[in-house]
Structure 1
Amino acid sequence: MKRRQFLGCLTAAASSYVLVACGGGGGASGAGSASNAATGTNAIANASAATGATASPDGTTVPSATSIVDNGANVWTLSNGLIYKNGVKDPNSYNVVMLLWVGGSVYQENTSKAFYKYTGTTWVASLDPRLGGTSADGTAIPPASYIIDKANNQWTLSNGYIYKNGVKDPYSYNVSMLLWYGGMIYQQGTGGQFYVLTWMATWKPCNDPRVNMAATAGSFYGINGHYDYPFTPTQVVAALHALGCTTYRVGCVNSSTQVNSLVGLAKAFQAANMTLFTLVDYGLRDSTGTLYTSESAAYSAAYSGAAAIATALAPYGVTMYECGNELSRDPAIILNSATAGTNNADFNNANWPIMRGAIRGMIAGIKSVQPNAKCGVNFCVADIAASDMLWDGFQPDGSGGHPTVHWDITTWHNYSPYGDVFNLGTDGAGPGFNLPSYCKARYGVPFMITEWNLAPEQSETARGAYVTQQLGEFYAARKTQGIQSVMYYELTSGDDTYGIVLDNLTPIQPTYGAFQSFVQANPDN
């Protein structure tokens, strides 16, 4: 936990391709060719006359106009479904019913009502630019007639069926509402159930994402620490008080050194009415570093360790635990660490049951001692595919019917290289989405950001500004997205790479002051 590698280049280069307008048919008939030739001759004359002329008014269409003049004084005409530029027939378009001039670009619409934009060399698929840009968050059909998402797709609803760019969705019917929220498309069926469209092109059941979730006040501001810090429990409590933090995240396994350290912290925190959030730090490997051979082996080992930790801490008021640390990013689980984690195929199918067994074991071990304890499961980057597969009992190969893993708190890590958690990128550099909003709708439990910070190579001036900016975003969303706690990483790292104080508890400025000032100005109530 004291050394961490950040993901770089998460925005994988997205491949692009060109679509040309189509509508069927081959070359023009003899009569059509004659007509087009005449049109072409007229267009050349028009182009010659238009040299130096101003462009056509924005929004001009052919028809009803006879031609469009672009910003380069090129003249565009349309005859028998064929486009002419300065009298020369465009080789990549046919069955065109309209030309359109908007925002300094030429568009065409074909007989299938598909739109294409001219790039200067060819035509690429687009929407009708007169529809406007991305729809406002919360746009719903009805009453709206369409939704435009961040990828410029147009969504419509007709007779209970969903259409994307005019193509009927094969997996939806009896739909009463279509919703654009948090960068994602949701539908509501006539029976009231909501579904969200994932990056796997599947609809998953969820709750209405517009319903606010307000987490219990009192533990919002938090920070990370370690069992082997050079501070007494009393010093830790005082340091957190000075910053305005009420929650402290510390990891351990079932060793006497680590457990005894956490017992001492738990006693001090119980007396101070503060929250010790314990990371039960079991993973995919045994004490020798060897990967467990099966789901059951991982389950048994994690169960016994977690039960022992809960037995030691329960008498001192510890009621919340995090089960595992960044397990979805273990090299045995993530196939390529540069992927965002929004696709099932990002993860190792063979080793998936080992991770599932370890997490299930930790939750079951804790609840065998404390049935009412709250257990969180941790994810990183945009590992929505990982959390969905665990929650729904799926494997990366798409098979279902496996053990499900349900948790009481969704926990996430969000370092600056991962992107903005409220507008997080996806595999293939896709448009961003609101991750806490998605988790709220899918899992219906409180959300915690249990590690966050700027990249370690950044200056303290940049870090201080980042702290203010991030806390502002987190604080604004705490009563709508169910954000129960945000835990800065970390109290001390022995230097200024992550810590907010040094090992002698001297504040690292301006980061410390930025954190402290924000907490004082924005109470956790």
Structure 2
Amino acid sequence: MVKRRQFIGCLTAFGASALLTACGGGGSSEEGGSANSASPNATNKATAKSASAHNTSIPPASSLTDGNGDVWTLSGGSVYKNGQKAGNNYNVSLVLFYGNTIYHEGTGGQFYGWTGSGWVSCNDPRLGGTSADGTTLPTASYIIDKSAAIWTLVNGVIYCNGATVGNTYNVTLVLWYGGKIYHCGTGGQFYVNADVSQQWLPCNDPRTAISAPAGMFYGMNGHFDYTYTPSKLVSILQAMGCTSYRVGCTADQIQLDAVSKIAKAFQSAGMTLVVLINQGVYDNNGRVWNSESTAYSEGFSAAQTIANTMKPYGVTIYECGNELTRQDATVNDFTYAGTKASDFNNANWPAMRGVMRGMIDGVKSVQPDAKCGINFCVNDVGASDALWDGMQPDGSGGYPKVRWDITTWHNYEVYGDLLSLGTDGAGPGFDLPTYCKARYGVPFIVTEWNTGPEQTQAYRGSYITSKLGDYYQARKTHNIQAVMYYVLDSGNDTYGIMLNGTPMNPPYSAFTSFTSSHPDN
């Protein structure tokens, strides 16, 4: 699990649109305060019998009465409440009573909502809230995303809050899906906007449902040095309804011997063993590999040795590296969500890229048909996109591309909901497996998931039931091949679902109850 972190939400306020008004515009604000300090929905609920009708406006009305009985008027371009100017406002052309809230619109088209003490910028409330998933342009006239930004399509060009986003032309479809904006042009190629400030990235149509192969959905993590014999391990996992198991291994002979015995037992039982190749970005002295080529050679050698050892026992899935994007040498700050390539260390990026490429090629040199995964943590789409496209964190391109067969991800509760993952750890969420399905077109495996070590066993049991339910429901559309709980036995009560061969309840019973009633088919 990556280091504990506390996410920092950072929602961007967008400028006013020349086409449709949107949050974050200028022109009128609360005097001496931030335009983003409160929500217009914080105003009083309608209680007075004399309140004006919903959607009443000035003009044509001469006054409005809110739910508290306060009377609102418009005079000389300013809004008055009970005869006193309401906060700092000017050049107002419209006052609106909508949803028990008072709004006003200035000559620039920007709307503001009354908080009870001042004005906060917002969209025209009559436009509605976040658009329904699957909304498209030009079928709809606009899309409102989770940040309240408004997207429009004019003459084949995409606008967000009235400003163009990247270089778009001949666009025939704009799609809001899974918390992301996609578009398709006359050539049929889809693109996704990873961030409003970034260029569009090529992808597939995210609406295409892809079902990963069945038979290994329920997985578990473990370690090579457990005291459980391989046969006992198989028995424990079968009793839990698990069909797959992830275990780490280096090229060390002791580890190779231990994992090969596990692989032999799994082969006999017809179960899937995912072998994590534990090769990092550091040399034996704790220094980052001095070049991409050196890192590649080290990764290639370790992976080739491990694959040669595991091949006779039917191992065909390898995860190449463990949380390499979340090392001291590779992430600039552990509090970063990882949504931007610039969140990562530019100088050490080639070493990480090199060892990843080396591990993949090392496995393929022994088993050309084996499947190799690269894993990511938190919200590291900035890293996965850059590696996939051969980019550096500084934005330069043309470097070797890392192309994996399976996208693997670690998702602990503190990181957020994988199916609605915050863009900055706490911000508006998007569906990560759907994004990865569209971008990379390969199966998705959650190779580590759990809540935090401080939680009670009762909480952990409820969490297991809830998350397995989410993953199970999504598996047939999101290309989710497996979800692998961390961990079978942690030697204490922090993460493990068993302790020295004894089930830990309620987590154990929650897991087994779910697997027994939800077949992997």
TM-score by length of 1: 0.90
| Equivalence for 1:260 | 257
Is 1:313 aligned to 2:310, yes or no?
yes
Is 1:469 aligned to 2:466, yes or no?
yes
Q: Is the 8 A contact 2:179 2:431 kept in 1?
A: yes
CA distance in 1, matches of 2:24, 2:315: 59
SS of match in other structure, 2:247: strand
The worse-fitting range, judged by mean Cα deviation, of 331-340 and 407-416 is 331-340
- State percent identity of aligned pairs: 56
| Equivalence for 1:508 | 504
Is 1:216 aligned to 2:213, yes or no?
yes
CA distance in 2, matches of 1:20, 1:299: 49
Which of 451, 455, 459 matches 1:454? 451
| Equivalence for 2:37 | none
CA distance in 1, matches of 2:425, 2:366: 44
| Letter in structure 2 aligned against 1:412 | W
User: Cα distance 1:517–1:330, how it changes in 2: closer, same or farther (>3 A)?
Assistant: same
Q: Is the 8 A contact 1:62 1:68 kept in 2?
A: yes
Which of 74, 82, 94 matches 1:98? 94
The worse-fitting range, judged by mean Cα deviation, of 152-161 and 515-524 is 152-161
Which of 303, 328, 333 matches 2:330? 333
User: Cα distance 1:509–1:332, how it changes in 2: closer, same or farther (>3 A)?
Assistant: same
SS of match in other structure, 1:65: coil
| Equivalence for 1:283 | 280
| Equivalence for 2:53 | 57
CA distance in 2, matches of 1:315, 1:479: 31
CA distance in 2, matches of 1:243, 1:384: 33
Is 1:147 aligned to 2:152, yes or no?
no
CA distance in 1, matches of 2:134, 2:104: 30
User: Cα distance 1:329–1:55, how it changes in 2: closer, same or farther (>3 A)?
Assistant: same
SS of match in other structure, 1:61: strand
CA distance in 2, matches of 1:239, 1:19: 56
Q: Is the 8 A contact 1:341 1:386 kept in 2?
A: yes
Is 1:437 aligned to 2:442, yes or no?
no
SS of match in other structure, 2:428: strand
SS of match in other structure, 1:261: helix
Which of 179, 191, 194 matches 2:175? 179
Higher Cα radius of gyration: 1
Give the superposition deviation at 1:186.
0.9
SS of match in other structure, 1:515: helix
CA distance in 1, matches of 2:378, 2:166: 31
User: Cα distance 1:15–1:481, how it changes in 2: closer, same or farther (>3 A)?
Assistant: closer
| Letter in structure 2 aligned against 1:455 | G
SS of match in other structure, 1:414: strand
| Equivalence for 1:22 | 27
Residue pairs, 1:350-365, within 5 angstroms: 350-365=347-362
User: Cα distance 1:223–1:198, how it changes in 2: closer, same or farther (>3 A)?
Assistant: same
In structure 2, stretches of 5+ residues that fail to align are 15-22, 29-47
| Equivalence for 1:163 | 159
Is 1:114 aligned to 2:88, yes or no?
no
CA distance in 1, matches of 2:519, 2:49: 62
Q: Can you list the C-alpha shifts for 1:453-489, whole angstroms capped at 9, x where unaligned?
A: 1111111111111111110011001110000001111
Is 1:481 aligned to 2:478, yes or no?
yes
| Equivalence for 1:380 | 377
| Letter in structure 2 aligned against 1:188 | C
CA distance in 1, matches of 2:51, 2:417: 41
Which of 297, 306, 311 matches 1:300? 297
CA distance in 1, matches of 2:50, 2:479: 55
The worse-fitting range, judged by mean Cα deviation, of 198-207 and 479-488 is 198-207
Residue pairs, 1:400-439, within 5 angstroms: 400-427=397-424, 429-439=426-436
CA distance in 1, matches of 2:506, 2:353: 41
SS of match in other structure, 1:288: coil
In structure 1, stretches of 5+ residues that fail to align are 24-51
The worse-fitting range, judged by mean Cα deviation, of 218-227 and 185-194 is 185-194
CA distance in 2, matches of 1:188, 1:97: 38
CA distance in 2, matches of 1:21, 1:326: 43
CA RMSD of aligned residues (A): 2.0
User: Cα distance 1:168–1:124, how it changes in 2: closer, same or farther (>3 A)?
Assistant: farther
Give the superposition deviation at 1:357.
0.7
CA distance in 2, matches of 1:350, 1:124: 42
Give the superposition deviation at 1:305.
0.7
Which of 42, 64, 68 matches 1:68? 64
CA distance in 2, matches of 1:419, 1:401: 33
CA distance in 1, matches of 2:174, 2:200: 12
| Letter in structure 1 aligned against 2:179 | G
| Equivalence for 2:40 | none
CA distance in 2, matches of 1:342, 1:425: 9
Q: Can you list the C-alpha shifts for 1:178-214, whole angstroms capped at 9, x where unaligned?
A: 1111111111112111111112432111111100010
Give the superposition deviation at 1:5.
5.5
Give the superposition deviation at 1:75.
3.0
| Equivalence for 1:245 | 242
CA distance in 1, matches of 2:394, 2:118: 39
Q: Can you list the C-alpha shifts for 1:434-457, whole angstroms capped at 9, x where unaligned?
A: 110110010000000000111111
CA distance in 1, matches of 2:146, 2:410: 25
| Letter in structure 1 aligned against 2:513 | S
Which of 393, 396, 405 matches 1:396? 393
User: Cα distance 1:170–1:421, how it changes in 2: closer, same or farther (>3 A)?
Assistant: closer
Number of positions where the alignment pairs a residue of Structure 1 with one of Structure 2: 493
SS of match in other structure, 2:476: coil
CA distance in 1, matches of 2:170, 2:107: 29
| Equivalence for 2:488 | 491
Q: Is the 8 A contact 2:24 2:122 kept in 1?
A: no
